[in-house]
A and B are shown apart, each in its own frame.
Chain A
Amino acid sequence: AQTVTQSQPEMSVQEAETVTLSCTYDTSENNYYLFWYKQPPSRQMILVIRQEAYKQQNATENRFSVNFQKAAKSFSLKISDSQLGDTAMYFCAFMKTGANNLFFGTGTRLTVIP
């Protein structure tokens, strides 16, 4: 079974600063995908970034980037130049290749302080 662990229930960061959210996972699979989703106060689930396990290059989307360490089964999210609109719950998620369901962590509540 796959498990996803987010060990930081809450974090805060000053506006314009950089913050890193941690995620580790446990799987025996070799091919899979990892995701970060953002859930703002509106509670919509928004895809932030995606990483394919077979790619060594870390995914980047504007101010969001990941540090994917496959051997360590670690998948952290870095948010640069934090903005007030980044305040949200952030969920790390895992999906086995060819599967049809995501396994989510318990989330990290990020607050950006003006």
Chain B
Amino acid sequence: NAGVMQNPRHLVRRRGQEARLRCSPMKGHSHVYWYRQLPEEGLKFMVYLQKENIIDESGMPKERFSAEFPKEGPSILRIQQVVRGDSAAYFCASSIATGTSSGNTIYFGEGSWLTVV
């Protein structure tokens, strides 16, 4: 049973370019989350999506960042016009559902490491 799959694992972008990070949730999971980890810090919630819907984007920066989870295909986190401060690890996670007897357990992917030069 494949886990949460993220790609690319490592991405280098020049300032001003766009970064696209992809995430396929675990089989059977319909809820996707994106978290960001800055160096030497814990993970910070960015956005929570279900298929074709953004449920909670309270942790997303207001500009340049967007996320989607289309009906078909992986979830995409898109960062436009990247700046050095965007350099971080971006983790995708998935769960079966919230508020279920499974207890909201969230499983993480291996992360995508963005470096802006």
A interface residues with partner B (beta carbon < 8 Å): 4, 33, 35, 37, 42-47, 50, 52, 91, 95, 97-107
The reply to whether A45 and B108 form a contact with Cβ atoms under 8 Å apart is yes
Name the interface residues of B40-74: CB closer than 8 Å to any CB of A: 41-45, 48, 55-56, 58-59
Which residues of B are found within 8 Å of A100, using beta-carbon distances? 31, 33, 48, 55-56, 98, 104
B111 an interface residue at 8 Å Cβ cutoff? yes
Q: Kindly state the separation between the CA atoms of A46 and B4 in the bound complex, as whole angstroms.
A: 11
Q: Kindly state the separation between the CA atoms of A35 and B98 in the bound complex, as whole angstroms.
A: 15
| Tally of B interface residues using CB under 8 Å | 28
Which residues of B are found within 8 Å of A52, using beta-carbon distances? 103
Which residues of B are found within 8 Å of A105, using beta-carbon distances? 42
The reply to whether A37 and B45 form a contact with Cβ atoms under 8 Å apart is no
Which residues of B are found within 8 Å of A46, using beta-carbon distances? 108
Q: Kindly state the separation between the CA atoms of A106 and B42 in the bound complex, as whole angstroms.
A: 5
Q: Beyond A98-B99, A104-B42, A104-B44, is A44–B110 a contact (Cβ under 8 Å)? A: yes
Nearest A residue to B105 via CB reads: A50
Q: Taking the nearest CB of chain B, how far is it from the CB of A89, in angstroms?
A: 9
The reply to whether B42 and A47 form a contact with Cβ atoms under 8 Å apart is no
- A selection of 6 A-B contacts at a CB cut-off of 8 Å is A43-B111, A45-B91, A45-B93, A99-B98, A104-B42, A107-B42
B83 an interface residue at 8 Å Cβ cutoff? no
Q: Taking the nearest CB of chain B, how far is it from the CB of A51, in angstroms?
A: 10
Name 8 extra pairs, CB < 8 A, besides A47-B105, A100-B56: A33-B105, A43-B111, A44-B108, A44-B109, A52-B103, A98-B99, A100-B33, A103-B45
Cross-interface CB contact of A43 among B55, B104, B110, cutoff 8 Å? B110
Q: Kindly state the separation between the CA atoms of A61 and B48 in the bound complex, as whole angstroms.
A: 28
The reply to whether B41 and A106 form a contact with Cβ atoms under 8 Å apart is yes
The reply to whether A44 and B98 form a contact with Cβ atoms under 8 Å apart is no
Cross-interface CB contact of B45 among A43, A50, A91, A101, cutoff 8 Å? A101
Which residues of A are found within 8 Å of B106, using beta-carbon distances? 47, 95, 102
